[in-house]
Amino acid sequence: MTQGIYEILSNVKIARDVYEMVLSGDTSAITAPGQFLNIKIEGLYLRRPISICDWDGETITILYKVVGEGTEKMADMKAGGKLDILVGLGNGFDMTCSGDRPLLVGGGVGTPPMYGLCKRLVAMGKHPVVILGYASAEDVLYEEKFHEMGVEVRIATVDGTRGVKGFVTHAMDGLDYTYFYACGPIPMLRALSDASVTSGELSFEERMGCGFGACMGCSCKTKYGNKRICRDGPVLKKEEVIW
């Protein structure tokens, strides 16, 4: 983990209530897709944890949904602004487990970490298949960016306005996959865990206090005791989670 001042290069709306922000600064603490960062917002006590969508040697891309005071303030930020950020928090996905045809599942703003993961799996010569789930067509994120990597993409929307009508599990019919990775709301993760036929990894979205394991405010019950989502997660193995 590192703490630094990052410059906003761009901050644009890309879907209903969802923005893409590109930051410039030190990325050396990011070691795996699935990690997150924690942003200090002026006037607010707690930092805001946001998953890392993608990164390179100089920039970090994040996607966030406006859901409260912190993200409302972020949506008004302009290029050239500066942010105090903790970077490289949590553990990421283990790509050595993927097999040749991993399944990547993102629900809503659980989509961003799937993009960074997919990009790196493709670079390893793997053949991911991606399922993205949303409430409606207005909420769909990054579909074209996944297509640009040459992977199979399936969309599910609750209202049926795009892709399969229903949930991500409805889009799994007939799929043959070697392992799965998922990020999204807890009901989605539980349903996917029950429906999956392989082992896999689940990235949990939790409200956090400190973001690095000091406050125990984001604990999850596992077979090995309570684990802190910010420190021991956000990625946990399917087999260890107690629902």
Give the model confidence (pLDDT) of 70-115 as tens digits. 999 999 999 999 999 999 999 999 999 999 999 999 999 999 999 9
Q: Where are the domains of the chain?
A: 2-89, 95-205
Q: What is the CATH number of domain 95-205?
A: 3.40.50.80
Fold for 2-89, please state it: Elongation Factor Tu (Ef-tu); domain 3 (2.40.30)
Tell me if domain 2-89 and domain 95-205 are identical in fold.
Answer: no
What's the burial of 5, exposed, middle or buried (CB within 10 Å: 0-12/13-18/19+)? exposed
pLDDT given at position 231 = 60
Band (203; pLDDT cuts 50, 70, 90): very high
- Over residues 167-198, the pLDDT tens digits come to 999 999 999 999 999 999 999 999 999 999 99
pLDDT confidence band for 206 (50 / 70 / 90)? low
